[in-house]
């Protein structure tokens, strides 16, 4: 059934067949939608046009990132459909669940204090690689009121306008910063148990996982701009940079027994595994896998933090960090 209360903003860059699946999942809902392309070199714009989806391509007049794409999509969508009450944001590597928009709107209309609702996002091919399995666990958010959510959610149009959308200066970590501003307004964000859709990270190689973690670390450091991610920022530097440096220098200049400090990483894995880890899975294998990679991720995250600090120090505008390459 056609619904003019809600519209959808799709953002993407070189997503190929994933974009086609995303477009088709949204078009089935018979709601207004807009696709914003971030300078794709594939046929993304053509595919959207062939399906009569309003398409905007970001120019290079300012840095291209997800925040700018979402804000642009919102502006185009509202201009085309001025009576919209809600907007759902989705990335082109995702597919929208058939029942999500109805679930989201029903929830929002029942509670005026709610601003954002998000649901369970599943990694589509989670059994095909360890990295996509990890992604599926990363997407899990325990149902209930939450402090933040990812960039795929349904929001009240008026609140998005009031907050002037996402901070386009943040190439990573813009989602929690936006949620931070919402909470400062005394508004609520709710995570539902309902399926929101699927995500296809296409992450089958260690190098892709590594680059994704570098982007995460960059986002942690970027959080200094608005006062967030302090704990994660410090943790990444301690475990991924300072401790390895101490071990290496200690072995060369003090005693080879400094190598024993490597055991601290094993203890940290055990600590995370034994903690009240809530990853949406009761599997001990999943918990152990997640704990291992939480510790391993500190190294690329530290690289991302350092990358940000260097860029900030020399005044260089950092480009988007991609892992699907």
Q: Model confidence over 55-78: pLDDT tens digits? A: 999 998 888 899 999 999 999 999
pLDDT digits (tens, 9 = 90+) for 239-273: 999 999 999 999 988 998 899 999 999 999 999 99
Contact residues for 284 (Cβ-Cβ < 8 A; gap 6+): none
Domain 6-199 has CATH 3.30.450.30: no
Instruction: Identify the three-state secondary structure at position 125.
Output: coil
* pLDDT at residue 224, rounded to an integer: 76
Q: Quick check: helix, strand or coil at residue 69?
A: helix
At residue 1, the pLDDT reads: 45
Q: How confident is the model at residue 122 (pLDDT cuts 50, 70, 90)?
A: very high
Q: CB count, 10 Å around CB of 36?
A: 27
For the cut 60, the answer to whether the pLDDT of residue 104 exceeds it is yes
DSSP tag of 200:
-
Q: What is the pLDDT of residue 185?
A: 87
144: alpha, beta or left, given left = phi > 0 and alpha = psi -120 to 50? left
The residue among 118, 105, 106 whose CA lies nearest residue 147 is 118
- List the structure tokens of 46: 């053509």
Q: Are 220 and 236 in contact (CB under 8 A)?
A: yes
Name the helix (H) or strand (E) containing 181. helix 174-184
* Distant-in-sequence, close-in-space partners of 180: CB < 8 Å, separation ≥ 6: 148, 226, 227, 228
pLDDT given for residue 63 in this prediction: 83
Write down how long the chain is: 325
pLDDT digit string (tens) for 33-59?
A: 999 999 999 999 999 999 999 999 999
**Taking CA 77 as the corner, what is the angle to CA 165 and CA 153, rounded to the nearest 5 degrees?**
55
pLDDT, position 226? 79
Q: With a threshold of 0.75, does the pTM exceed it?
A: yes
What mean pLDDT comes out for the span 84-100? Answer: 96
> In this structure, are residues 88 and 11 in contact, taking their beta carbons and an 8 Å threshold?
no
C-alpha pair distances (Å), 260 with each of 24, 239, 256, 267, 301: 55, 15, 9, 12, 23
User: If we measure between CA atoms, which residue out of 191, 160, 188 comes closest to residue 67?
Assistant: 160
pLDDT at 325: 60
**217 neighbors 302 (Cβ within 8 angstroms):** yes
The three-class DSSP label of residue 50 is helix
Q: What is the model's pLDDT at position 2? A: 57
pLDDT (0 to 100) of residue 321: 73
Continuous segment of H or E residues that includes residue 123: strand 114-123
Classify the phi-psi angles of 317: left when phi > 0, otherwise alpha if psi is within -120 to 50, otherwise beta: beta
pLDDT tens digits for range 203-226: 999 999 999 999 999 989 888 777
Domains in the chain: boundaries: 6-199, 206-314
pLDDT more than 70, % of the chain: 98
**Candidate from 3-7, 35-39, 278-282, 315-319 with smallest mean pLDDT:** 315-319
Q: Which two tokens stand for residue 167?
A: 């901070």
Contact 230, 223 (CB under 8 A): yes
Mean local confidence (pLDDT), 139-146: 94
The mean pLDDT of 190-198, rounded to a whole number, is 96
pLDDT in tens, 167-179: 988 877 889 999 9
Q: What is the pLDDT of residue 228?
A: 81
- Cα separation, 55 vs 52, in Å, equals 9
Q: Average pLDDT in the 225-231 region?
A: 82
Task: Report helix angle 284-296 to 263-274, nearest 10.
Answer: 140
Counts for the chain of helices (H) and strands (E), in that order: 13, 9
């Amino acid at each position: 059934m056609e619904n003019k209360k809600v519209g959808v903003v799709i953002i993407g860059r070189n997503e190929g067949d994933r974009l086609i699946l995303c477009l088709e999942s949204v078009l089935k809902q018979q709601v207004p939608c807009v696709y914003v392309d971030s300078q794709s070199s594939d046929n993304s714009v053509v595919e959207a046009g062939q399906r009569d989806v309003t398409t905007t391509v970001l120019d290079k007049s300012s840095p291209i990132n997800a925040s700018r794409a979402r804000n642009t999509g919102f502006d185009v969508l509202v201009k085309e459909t001025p009576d919209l009450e809600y907007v759902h944001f989705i990335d082109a590597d995702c597919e929208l669940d058939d029942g999500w928009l109805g679930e989201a709107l029903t929830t929002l209309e029942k509670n005026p204090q709610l601003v954002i609702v998000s649901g369970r996002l599943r990694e589509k091919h989670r059994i095909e690689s360890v990295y996509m399995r990890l992604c599926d666990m990363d997407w899990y958010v325990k149902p209930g009121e939450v402090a933040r959510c990812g960039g795929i959610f349904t929001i009240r149009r008026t609140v998005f306008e009031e907050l002037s959308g996402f901070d386009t200066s943040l190439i990573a970590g813009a989602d929690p910063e936006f949620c931070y501003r919402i909470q400062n307004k005394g508004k609520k964000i709710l995570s539902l148990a309902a399926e929101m859709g699927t995500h296809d990270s296409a992450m089958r190689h260690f190098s892709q996982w590594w680059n994704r973690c570098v982007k995460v670390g960059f986002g942690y450091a970027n959080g200094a701009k608005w006062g967030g991610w302090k704990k994660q920022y410090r943790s990444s530097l301690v475990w991924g940079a300072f401790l390895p440096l101490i071990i290496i220098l200690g072995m060369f200049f003090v005693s080879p027994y400094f190598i024993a400090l490597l055991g601290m990483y094993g203890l940290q894995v055990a600590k995370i595994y034994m903690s009240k880890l809530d990853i949406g899975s009761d599997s001990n294998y999943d918990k152990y896998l997640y704990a291992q990679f939480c510790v391993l991720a500190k190294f690329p995250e530290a690289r991302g933090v350092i990358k940000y600090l260097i860029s900030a120090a020399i005044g260089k505008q950092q480009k988007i960090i991609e892992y699907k390459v």
